Amino acid sequence: MFRNYKKRDVFILERSIWSDGVYGMIFDGYDLDLDAEVNPITSMNTIVIIRKSGGGTEYTEQMLVTSGLTNYEVYIIRDDLESVKDCVNKYSGKQDVILLFENVSLLKKYKSIFKDSGIRCQTVSVMKTFYEYIRPNLIKASQLLEDDLSRNIFTEVLNVRFKVKPNEALYKFFDKNQYFPIPEMNQLDVNGVYVDCGAFVGDTVESFIQSRQGIFSKIYAFEPAPRQYRALLSRKQRLLSEWALGDEQIVCLNVGVGSHTAKASMHSGVLSNHIIGTSLTELDESLSEKVDTVDIVALDDVCGSENVRFIKADVEGFEMDMLKGAEKIISEQKPCLAICLYHKLTDYFEIPLYIKSLVPEYKMKVRHHSSDFTETVLYCYC
């Protein structure tokens, strides 16, 4: 549907706090296998972000970095008629086309401006187009799931993600016991090692210890963000005391996880107050003064000699990289896995298909742990 568009000058996209899926869809989805001509972004010179009230400037800048928009001429404007009008008059000519992704209300709001400026305006349903593209792989992933509940959750999460249904459709699936909702994720192993990728402040580490009644060999907790890492260390000391553990039983590492040893750019404050959410992207030397850098390690290099029995990963879109860096552990030791699926739209099928290719005998279930499309987790066990 994009093949009719040639060279354009302006691309306008409204910014909202949960629109990251759209960016992931464009930059991660259309760059997979499709011809570059299909990608509308590649034919744009200028990108305009309409910043909604309440969205901080720093958050918008972080989004630009993680989305790769810094390669284009980007302008951020306020969500008001005058700002849009000034932008249109300055950056667009009479034959330009402004694409408004999935936002009919925004189209209506600014219709008079487009008309007065003589600009042809077209809405493009990126979500619908992308869904049709990935649908065969989504079906393959769904067929790998072990039970009807998993398949129902998988379907409804996608319905909400693609805006077919409201968040309320997921309420009936909500399970507050994240990462340990099924018996297979709660097996005791006195010699077992637990690996927490994206340990945050140690909340899941504590849940793991409770689920194992303090019976385990060692925990590796990876957390790249300095502020969260300090909180993780604080919690570690409390847990050592409360559960009478040895200091060597909880190993905290201030690094991220990926497919290989490297450095990455780190973007904190993905949600409010710079507390919740830290994402990593490949290091861009041109942005080194604007963002923090962090060391990335592969699990095979750090934990390959350990008896790994459980890997949990909530690493803000780095899940596939983490899995590739743990290929040897997963293939040979077949640990239980609890992997977040929701950070990228392609993860819904890429992650289960990749894991199944490493260990065909894995059984897979999906459970959901929030009141919106986030916190969907894939559980794998033998």
H or E, element range at 136: helix 126-143
Structure tokens given for 134: 């990935």
- Look at residues 40, 125, 116 and name the one whose alpha carbon lies nearest to residue 84: 116
Of the pLDDT bands very low, low, confident and very high (cuts 50, 70, 90), residue 124 is low
Q: Please give the pLDDT value at position 311.
A: 98
Spell out where the chain has E strands. 8-15, 44-51, 73-78, 97-101, 120-124, 193-197, 218-222, 250-253, 256-257, 262-268, 278-282, 292-297, 308-313, 336-340, 363-368, 376-381
Q: Does 339 score more than 80 pLDDT?
A: yes
Asked if residue 316 has pLDDT above 70, the reply is yes
Query: CA 59 → CA 5, 190, 273, 278, distances in Å?
Result: 31, 44, 10, 12
280: which residues sit within 8 A by CB, 6+ positions away?
Answer: 224, 256, 258, 264, 265, 266, 267, 294, 296, 315, 316, 317, 318
- Does the pLDDT at position 27 exceed 60? no
**148-381 CATH pick, 3.40.50.150, 3.40.50.280, 3.30.470.20, 3.40.47.10:** 3.40.50.150
Share of the chain above pLDDT 90, in %: 52
Determine if the pTM surpasses 0.85.
no
Looking only at the bridges linking them, the beta strands covering 336-340 and 278-282 are: unpaired
Q: Where are the alpha helices (DSSP H) in 68-123?
A: 81-91, 104-109, 111-117
Tracing tokens 């916190």 back to the chain, one arrives at 375
In the chain, domain spans: 8-124, 148-381
- pLDDT at residue 272 is higher than 70: no
Confidence of residue 274 (pLDDT cuts 50, 70, 90): very low
330: pLDDT strictly greater than 80 = yes
CATH number of 8-124: 3.40.50
Burial class (CB in 10 A: 0-12, 13-18, 19+), 322: buried
- Asked if residues 85 and 113 have their Cβ atoms less than 8 Å apart, the reply is yes
Q: What integer pLDDT is reported at residue 139 of this predicted model?
A: 94
